[in-house]
Amino acid sequence: MSRTADFLAHRWVRLAIVLIVIVVLAILPLVLPVFANQTLTRIGVYAVAVLGLNVVMGYTGVVSLGQIFFVGLGAYVTAYGVVNDWNIVLVFVAACVFSGIVGLVIALAAARLGGLAIAMVTIALPIIGVPLAKRLSDVTGGSQGVSARFSDAPDWTGLYNDQWQLYIVILITAIAFVAGRNLVRGRFGRAFAIVKENEAVAVSMGVSPYRYKVLAFTIAALFGGASGFLYMVAVQYTSPETLSFSHSISLVAAMVIGGAGSIVGSLLGGVYYVLVPQATNAIDPNLTTISQGVILLVILFVLPGGLVSLPRVIRRLARRARPPAGGIQEEGTVRPPSEGIGEERQAGPPAGGTEREERQGQA
């Protein structure tokens, strides 16, 4: 064990792993079947949305039930830009920035409230968003929605549409995840963690909880906007139903199941959000909600820290199954250096603390 950890800690080896991941991501769209590509594309869309939610909720402890509003906003801005023939890069920037600004304005007001009051404000977002999208029918297409096709593969690439869309999603998702990882591992991440842990302590250390909550909320909205852009890449159509409140709850569930306060967990949350409905459809299309509920409960019972804690749980079980003294000690020394692969441990407190923080966030 410790030898693998030392090996992994080496700079070149880590670089090589990153390289391999990049190469695999570059090749994957070319070799996978169409439906796998399309599924991966959708996973990317929601992984970014969950990542944003994780920044505000998992890392900063501000309960947000309105993330889908920003996804929808980003989607509508994208649709508007495409319909009006904006440059596609400009459309992407506009989707992110516009959502970010709206998020900032809302956060400036909402973050003044404490605890669950913020959650109440964020609940209002999708509830206002749906009728708003219906009423502003000149821009949004009303309840019939608006479709915007801009993500078909250009001829020069020689790619199929699903491959091209997956490349766009991989690129933006990768950027978002690297940015998210750097954010929560750096100065801001530490400030978020203190604000989440104890606001009084944060103040005493010169960290303004208000300012960092606003920052986290704005970043979450920004990621939501990016996710909305990706939504249009993948779906090419948006309607008021996109903003439906129940999707917001699903996003929160996906975040908790993936792993609150974890970057890898955000990705797993995206996987959950997309794959579970598909899987339950295969079981019995008449029982999707029930089987989704069962899966959700089973995961939360077995893995309270989310899917991301699965390797840890397996290691613990393996250790119990094979009790020799050496194993335990080794495990203890191994943990810190292996941060390279499990970034989630770096920023947030370890999974054991998740439950506690969950409760604190709602207090």
Binding site for another protein (CB under 8 A): 10, 12-13, 16, 19-20, 23-24, 26-27, 30-31, 33-35, 38-39, 42, 130-131, 134-135, 137, 142-145, 147, 149, 160-161, 231, 234-242, 244, 246-247, 274, 277-278, 280-281, 285-286, 288-289
E strand spans, the chain: 146-147, 237-238
Q: How far is the CB of 11 from another protein (least distance, A)?
A: 10
Which CB, 41 or 309, lies closer to another protein?
Answer: 41
Lookup: tokens for 294: 């069962």
Q: How far is CA 36 from CA 31, 39, 62, 288, in A?
A: 10, 5, 35, 21
Which CB, 68 or 219, lies closer to another protein?
Answer: 68
CA–CA gap between residue 252 and residue 297 (Å, rounded) = 14
Other residues' Cβ atoms within 10 Å of the Cβ of residue 238: 25
Q: How far is the CB of 362 from another protein (least distance, A)?
A: 26
Lookup: tokens for 134: 């219906």
Crossing angle for the helix pair 2-9 and 325-334, to the nearest 10 degrees: 10
CA–CA gap between residue 229 and residue 338 (Å, rounded) = 35
Q: How far is the CB of 286 from another protein (least distance, A)?
A: 5
Which CB, 19 or 314, lies closer to another protein?
Answer: 19
Q: How far is the CB of 27 from another protein (least distance, A)?
A: 4
* Residue 310: closest CA among 356, 357, 358, 272: 272
Q: Write the DSSP assignment of 102-120 as a string of letters.
A: HHHHHHHHHTTS-THHHHH
Which CB, 72 or 258, lies closer to another protein?
Answer: 72
* Residue 302: closest CA among 236, 351, 350, 335: 351
What does the chain come to in residues?
363
Q: How far is the CB of 156 from another protein (least distance, A)?
A: 17
Which CB, 42 or 312, lies closer to another protein?
Answer: 42
Which CB, 147 or 338, lies closer to another protein?
Answer: 147
**What's the maximum distance between 2 C-alpha atoms anywhere in the chain?**
70
Residue pointed to by tokens 């995961």: 299
C-alpha 324, offset from chain centre? 39
Q: How far is the CB of 244 from another protein (least distance, A)?
A: 7
Q: How far is the CB of 239 from another protein (least distance, A)?
A: 4
Which CB, 45 or 207, lies closer to another protein?
Answer: 45
